[in-house]
Amino acid sequence: MAALHREAVGAGGKPRLGALERRELLGEVLGEARVELALVEVLGFLIAGFVPGVDGFGILLCERGNRELDALPLACKQLTRSIGIHEGKSTLTRADAVSSLTQGMPSTMKRFKTWDGIEIAYREWGPATASPPVVLHHGFVVDAETNWLATGVIDALRTAGRRVIAPDARGHGSSDKPHDPARYGEPNMARDLTVLFDTIGSERVDLVGYSMGAVVALIFASSDGRVRRLVVGGVGSGVVECGGVDRRSVSNESIIRALSADDPSGVEEPEARSFRALADAVGADRRALVAQARSVYKGGVALERISARTLVLAGDEDPLAVRPETLANAIPHATLRTLHGDHVGAIADPGFTRSIVDFLA
């Protein structure tokens, strides 16, 4: 595994290979060996064959029972020790991960019925403060815990004294999961945010969204003046040129095929295969995800109507966030920060969480 890491990572911890090349290299090195991407599941990043650089979260590879922790930051090593991975545990379950990550960070799970009768689950961390609450909207496939808790974003915001609220979007996590495509689409999720904001009763809110959640956040902020500051990540020119999530590099049709396949080993498209691997890792309802994929929004966003100060975060290798300056230039009060990594790796860049906390201060 050390040889794999040296090949994939160049001087100064910068990945020498692109994301897809790193995945292919992993497959070549391991061959038919069993790969347990347990730590990546802890972090919410189970993308088959993803090998980040040493500045990222790292990856736990279990090859026929021989475990090796490679290039993990201290916090990740402490996490694996705390749940006994070095004492012979062969599988790290998602429940183990969430239990470990939430120690000392009590949250309250609440639910509300939204405008069309769907029940939405959300969690709250911390009491009300003088600052607006921070609402975090996750991306496609994952849920609030995977996208924001496991990655340390919630912990960082709580350390900064912020009250944090994170819903599970319809079809995801602990929220209702209808299988009718008519119940989905980012505009419907934005309407869910309207009900959430009414429910928590805050006149001003800071809103953060990633990928699908970024499109939801942009739609909401274009029509609701309660957003004080807005952070969107994992999106770029596709919002302007495609009307929503950029599907030019990975088509909706390929994602639907991957999520619908009885045997995922037959899925040929690498990016679509990654979505399927992630869905299986987090135990997602794949029929609900297919319904969302069939309803992905392409109708455009009135970006010129967004009055909130906005931060755009994008990975320099993210195929779903190409030319993010196009998006930033279309929003009246937006700034852009480019991070290192692809759609998953950008979240592992230490600057991702730091940028969110600093911008919302």
Q: Looking at residue 241, which CATH number applies to its domain?
A: 3.40.50.1820
Same domain, 192 and 216: yes
Same domain, 260 and 318: yes
Report residue 163 as tokens: 């009250």
- Rounded CA separation 79/101 (Å): 8
Q: Give the pLDDT band (50/70/90) at residue 103.
A: low
Q: Give the pLDDT band (50/70/90) at residue 249.
A: confident
User: Residue 230: helix, strand or coil by DSSP?
Assistant: strand
Domain C-terminal end among 85, 100, 115: 100
Q: Is the pLDDT of residue 92 over 70?
A: no
Same domain, 146 and 263: yes
pLDDT in tens, 179-223: 999 999 999 999 999 999 999 999 999 999 999 999 999 999 999
> Lowest-confidence range among 83-92, 161-170, 210-219, 338-347?
83-92
Same domain, 178 and 218: yes
Section 149-154 average pLDDT: 86
Same domain, 17 and 65: yes
Cβ atoms of 15 and 70 within 8 Å: the answer is: no
* Closest CA relative to residue 294, chosen from 209, 194, 173, 171: 171
- Rounded CA separation 62/84 (Å): 15
Same domain, 184 and 94: no
Same domain, 247 and 139: yes
> Lowest-confidence range among 153-167, 302-316, 340-354?
340-354
Q: For the packed helices 212-221 and 186-200, what is the interaxial angle rounded to 10 degrees?
A: 60
Percent of the chain scoring above 70 in pLDDT: 71
The structural domain count of the chain equals: 2
Q: Give the pLDDT band (50/70/90) at residue 282.
A: confident
Section 224-248 average pLDDT: 95
Domain C-terminal end among 72, 100, 128: 100
Report residue 276 as tokens: 């399927």
Report residue 36 as tokens: 């347990």
Reported as half-sphere exposure (CB side, CA atoms, 13 A), residue 193 has a value of 32
Same domain, 83 and 210: no
Section 129-136 average pLDDT: 96
Same domain, 82 and 124: no
Range of 118's domain?
A: 106-360
Q: Is the pLDDT of residue 166 over 70?
A: yes
Which has the higher per-residue pLDDT, 87 or 146? Answer: 146
Section 250-263 average pLDDT: 93
Section 144-166 average pLDDT: 92
- Rounded CA separation 166/337 (Å): 23
Residues 6 or more apart whose CB falls under 8 angstroms from that of 263 comprise none
Q: Give the pLDDT band (50/70/90) at residue 122.
A: very high
Same domain, 47 and 191: no
Same domain, 117 and 262: yes
Tell me the DSSP string of 287-341.
HHHHHHHHT---S---GGG--SEEEEEEETT-TTS-SHHHHHHHSTTEEEEEESS
Reported as half-sphere exposure (CB side, CA atoms, 13 A), residue 127 has a value of 2
Tell me the DSSP string of 245-300.
S--SSS-HHHHHHHHH-SSGGG---HHHHHHHHHHHHTT--HHHHHHHHHT---S-
> Lowest-confidence range among 41-50, 86-95, 241-250?
41-50
The region, left, alpha or beta by phi > 0 then psi within -120 to 50, assigned to residue 108 is beta
Tell me whether residue 109 is exposed, middle or buried, using C-beta atoms within 10 angstroms of its C-beta: 0 to 12, 13 to 18, 19 or more. Answer: exposed
Report residue 291 as tokens: 């319904």
State the pLDDT at residue 3. 37
pTM of the model: 0.77
State the pLDDT at residue 265. 85
Q: How many other CB atoms are found less than 10 A from the CB of residue 13?
A: 13
76, 255, 282 from 171: Cα distances, Å: 29, 16, 13
Average pLDDT value for the chain: 78
Q: What strands, in cross-sheet order, belong to the sheet with 134-137?
A: 108-113, 119-125, 164-167, 134-137, 205-210, 227-233, 309-315, 334-339
Q: Give the pLDDT band (50/70/90) at residue 106.
A: low
Domain C-terminal end among 100, 130, 161: 100
Longest dimension (CA), the chain: 55
Name the β-bridge partners of 312.
232, 336
Same domain, 72 and 114: no
